[in-house]
Structure 1
Amino acid sequence: MRRSLVFASALALGLGILAGQAGAQQRPAQRDAVRIGILSDMSGSFADVAGPGSVVAAQLAAEDFGGRAAGLPVQIVSGDHQNRADVGSALARRWVDVDGVDAIVDLPNSAVALAVGDVVRNANRTMLVTAAVTTRLTGDACSPNTVHYSLDNWSMANVPSRALVREGGSTWFYITADYVFGHDLEQQSANAVRRAGGRVLGSVRHPLGTADFSSVLLQAQASRAEVVALANSQADFINAMKQAGEFGLTRRGQRVLGLAVYVSDIVSLGLEATQGAIVTGNWYWDMNDGTRDFARRFAARHNGRMPTALQANVYAAVLHFLKAVDAVGGSTDGRAVVARMKEMPTDDRLFGRGSIRADGRRMSPVYVFQVKAPGESSGPYDVYRLVREVPIEEAYRPIEEGGCPLVAGGRRGG
């Protein structure tokens, strides 16, 4: 059985080490560090896009901040939630109750993020979601202890769905991961398709970690939909995309669209299979000098791999959190820290200047990229060409539509 606490890494600049399984030591009687827990999927479906690389990103942020906040050393700890909400919430509870963790970061898998959010709110600590994408995090499940850094399903679904309907893709069929993330992504895309004048012909759901997509692809093929949308991610998206090619969906005139695609997916599939694809994201490693410098430093510590947008989110979130901790004098009061994070503009070399809304949504530019052809690429991670920057008012769900109770006029609801 895997340990729930996978590893803890010592930071440069004299940062301390917190090692061993969660619960192996008691919380110190007097606070001796600012502790940040990277709660991620370390070896499963999301390990490439978040996982160990998210720990590296957190380390780099802590080092760039100087290794201390409010006079205390910064420590990074890490744990594996195994894509299970019960495992994630139990580890989070141990971290805040016993090990003195101040902030929990990353959280790929929306069900885990929602469960951990309850733990963090009850303990009045901080949760910085840099990988989960459910819209509920800034909707009915919004919290004064949470900031949502990663793009959510509304952004990832609305931008490409509206564009494809305008380009003539009027009928849609969905292949959907059967858990919170997939359900929400399908719903957000289907709503956008209908608003744009398109029609949804049907959908089929599959378990997380599916290896054989033949039966669901046959249903998609039989639907004769012009667009087959993959409302899944990571290993599921890669397997579905590969098998869609083997089934010849595109040769029969159907367009296969991934709604949640990351650089690591494109690298895994190869440019021959993905050239010309449209991808929505809030970050790419080769955009400017600041992103390229971070990518080089990250790759030097992560087996030559370039960072994904989710790992870049970790860097930005940890850096802004430490600025807020400094500003409030090192308080462990998560609500006070998050309130200060919302008051201060976000500003770093990876994303530039941005802000955090009252519902916890981090606002930064969103981009549309096109995957390069093999002949245009200079290396394995040179995969995107920038098409356009999406106006902020189009890139995020309007705050009044989310139903967040923290927003004036907000309501509880689904």
Structure 2
Amino acid sequence: MNKALLTAACAAGVMAFSGAQAADPASNGSVKIGVLSDMSGVYKAIEGPGAVTAAKMAAEDFGGKVLGAPIEIVSADHQNKADVASSVARKWIDRDHVDMLVGMDNSAVGLAVQGLASEKNTITINTGAGSSELTESQCSKYGIHYVYDTYALPVGTATAMVKNGGKKWFFITADYAFGHSLRDNTSRVVEDLGGEVLGSIEAPLSTTDFSSYLLQASGSGADVIGLANAGGDTVNSIKQANSFGIVERGQKLAGMLVFLTDIKALGLDTAKGLEFTTAFYWDRNDESRKWSQRFFEKHGAMPTMVQAGVYSGVTHYLEAIKAAGSDDAKAVRAELGNMTLNDFFVQNGKIEANGLMSHDMYLAQVKTPDESKSDWDLLNIVSTIPAEKAYIAQSDSACPLLK
């Protein structure tokens, strides 16, 4: 009788333990999200600490829990080094049980981390890096490219400039994967529209003196000097071009990746009239204004498209966990692929099979000082670029997953 009672008690204990496990669908007792960004360098203002703020806002707005498990946000500085980023990502996944990584505002970092994480069945939502290779030749089953890519950027900017007479181009190119991809994709748009690329010169990341590059570009006789760089490099390029009087002499500058914080750093006197392509502007509608004001109160600056994209990406990731009833990467990725994404950042967005988040982009123009009514009233939205024109069609994609 005692033996029978002991057996029944053990069985009940096993059933209770199994039931507890089944009732806790979040692995390791929490859902942990890692924000991996440039916290101290040339891209700090673009994503950086603001991305951490956005991710924490998303977790808080979701209620701090998903499927009963707490949502944790961790962060690290990748220092714009692929090896540093890979080391952090490996530690986060293997030791700290991070479920999803977001950020990666450097294409070399983004490509390295996406490859590593997918091998370990971990989702990445790349909000900051631009290279279209993230969803083309180096696509992966758990990698998502969320905000923009180097294919979409020139569709608006280069098209507008070529149609307005900017036929001959010369590029100053950031010398790594992002810059090369942006230059190559912009060149394709220019040449498809009947323009001509006269040449390109490569500048190291975080260059402070662009004088020799600008003089060579100006001396090429190009109508347009294309800046295939970003962040502080773009700001320095434009400031120094202005001091050399390049625009005054009749040549145009094309910032192929420009952020709101860049315009703020340049000032309207220097940046007025500049056109560029963006995924988001805080003052576009009531919904974007409401969220952006909340972000401003926490961060002290209006959000860039990347920072807004972090909030959106994290929120939709949490919604996919809820829908899947689990934080298992395969199940969550499937749910993300089934969703139509709608919020203050994106309307009718779709995460494609190759990881591309396809959505509308916008051609923006910097206001003149007289047009601006407040500190962050910096842009006019000139036109909307439909998703089907902004991105590589799935039928044309080189992603091996689609073959």
Q: Distance in 2 between matches of 1:81 and 1:322?
A: 24
Q: Distance in 1 between matches of 2:221 and 2:244?
A: 14
* Alignment equivalent of 2:325, drawn from 313, 326, 329: 329
Q: Distance in 1 between matches of 2:119 and 2:170?
A: 40
Q: Distance in 2 between matches of 1:238 and 1:350?
A: 25
Q: Distance in 1 between matches of 2:128 and 2:245?
A: 32
Aligned: 1:179 with 2:176:
yes
1:271-350 matched pairs, under 5 angstroms? 271-302=268-299, 304-331=300-327, 333-350=328-345
Unaligned runs of 5+ in 1: 1-28
Change (3 A) 1:273 1:313: same
Q: Distance in 2 between matches of 1:404 and 1:70?
A: 33
Partner residue in 2 for 1:90: 87
Q: Distance in 1 between matches of 2:66 and 2:341?
A: 17
How far is the alpha carbon of 1:309 from its aligned partner?
A: 0.3
Secondary structure, aligned partner of 1:406: helix
Partner residue in 1 for 2:123: 126
- Are the counterparts in 2 of residues 230 and 237 from structure 1 also a CA contact under 8 Å? yes
- Are the counterparts in 1 of residues 31 and 66 from structure 2 also a CA contact under 8 Å? yes
Partner residue in 2 for 1:385: 380
- Are the counterparts in 1 of residues 156 and 362 from structure 2 also a CA contact under 8 Å? no
Aligned length: 378
Q: Distance in 2 between matches of 1:150 and 1:223?
A: 33
* Structure 2 letter corresponding to 1:172: W
Change (3 A) 1:227 1:94: same
Measured against aligned partners, the alpha-carbon deviations of 1:311-330 in whole angstroms (never above 9, x if no partner) come to 00001100000011112222
Partner residue in 1 for 2:358: 363
Change (3 A) 1:93 1:400: same
Aligned: 1:219 with 2:219:
no
* Structure 2 letter corresponding to 1:266: I
How far is the alpha carbon of 1:87 from its aligned partner?
A: 0.3
Q: Distance in 2 between matches of 1:395 and 1:144?
A: 22
Secondary structure, aligned partner of 2:28: coil
Q: Distance in 1 between matches of 2:27 and 2:159?
A: 54
- Are the counterparts in 2 of residues 341 and 356 from structure 1 also a CA contact under 8 Å? yes
Secondary structure, aligned partner of 1:353: coil
Larger radius of gyration: 2
Partner residue in 2 for 1:203: 200
Q: Distance in 1 between matches of 2:271 and 2:152?
A: 21
- Are the counterparts in 2 of residues 106 and 130 from structure 1 also a CA contact under 8 Å? yes
1:107-146 matched pairs, under 5 angstroms? 107-146=104-143
Q: Distance in 2 between matches of 1:274 and 1:399?
A: 36
Partner residue in 1 for 2:394: 399
The answer to which of 30-39 and 74-83 deviates more is 30-39
Partner residue in 2 for 1:40: 37
Secondary structure, aligned partner of 2:173: strand
Q: Distance in 2 between matches of 1:30 and 1:343?
A: 23
Partner residue in 2 for 1:250: 247
Q: Distance in 2 between matches of 1:323 and 1:136?
A: 27
Measured against aligned partners, the alpha-carbon deviations of 1:218-252 in whole angstroms (never above 9, x if no partner) come to 10111010010100011110001011111111122
How far is the alpha carbon of 1:300 from its aligned partner?
A: 1.1
- Are the counterparts in 1 of residues 156 and 276 from structure 2 also a CA contact under 8 Å? no
Q: Distance in 1 between matches of 2:105 and 2:362?
A: 21
Secondary structure, aligned partner of 1:382: coil
Partner residue in 1 for 2:146: 149
How far is the alpha carbon of 1:144 from its aligned partner?
A: 1.1
- Are the counterparts in 2 of residues 193 and 199 from structure 1 also a CA contact under 8 Å? yes
The answer to which of 253-262 and 373-382 deviates more is 373-382
How far is the alpha carbon of 1:391 from its aligned partner?
A: 2.1
Measured against aligned partners, the alpha-carbon deviations of 1:243-282 in whole angstroms (never above 9, x if no partner) come to 1111111122110110000100000000011111112111
TM-score by length of 2: 0.92
- Are the counterparts in 1 of residues 359 and 386 from structure 2 also a CA contact under 8 Å? no
How far is the alpha carbon of 1:401 from its aligned partner?
A: 2.5
Secondary structure, aligned partner of 1:35: strand
Q: Distance in 1 between matches of 2:47 and 2:386?
A: 27
Q: Distance in 1 between matches of 2:392 and 2:348?
A: 20
How far is the alpha carbon of 1:400 from its aligned partner?
A: 2.4
Measured against aligned partners, the alpha-carbon deviations of 1:18-58 in whole angstroms (never above 9, x if no partner) come to xxxxxxxxxxx971210000000001011101000001111
Measured against aligned partners, the alpha-carbon deviations of 1:368-405 in whole angstroms (never above 9, x if no partner) come to 11111101112221101111111222111222222112
- Are the counterparts in 2 of residues 324 and 341 from structure 1 also a CA contact under 8 Å? yes
Partner residue in 2 for 1:26: none
* Structure 2 letter corresponding to 1:327: A
* Structure 1 letter corresponding to 2:310: V
- Are the counterparts in 2 of residues 157 and 192 from structure 1 also a CA contact under 8 Å? yes
Q: Distance in 2 between matches of 1:393 and 1:350?
A: 18
**RMSD of equivalent CA atoms:** 1.3
Measured against aligned partners, the alpha-carbon deviations of 1:143-178 in whole angstroms (never above 9, x if no partner) come to 110111121000112221122111111111000110
Q: Distance in 2 between matches of 1:126 and 1:394?
A: 27
* Structure 2 letter corresponding to 1:310: V
Q: Distance in 2 between matches of 1:354 and 1:218?
A: 42
Unaligned runs of 5+ in 2: 1-25
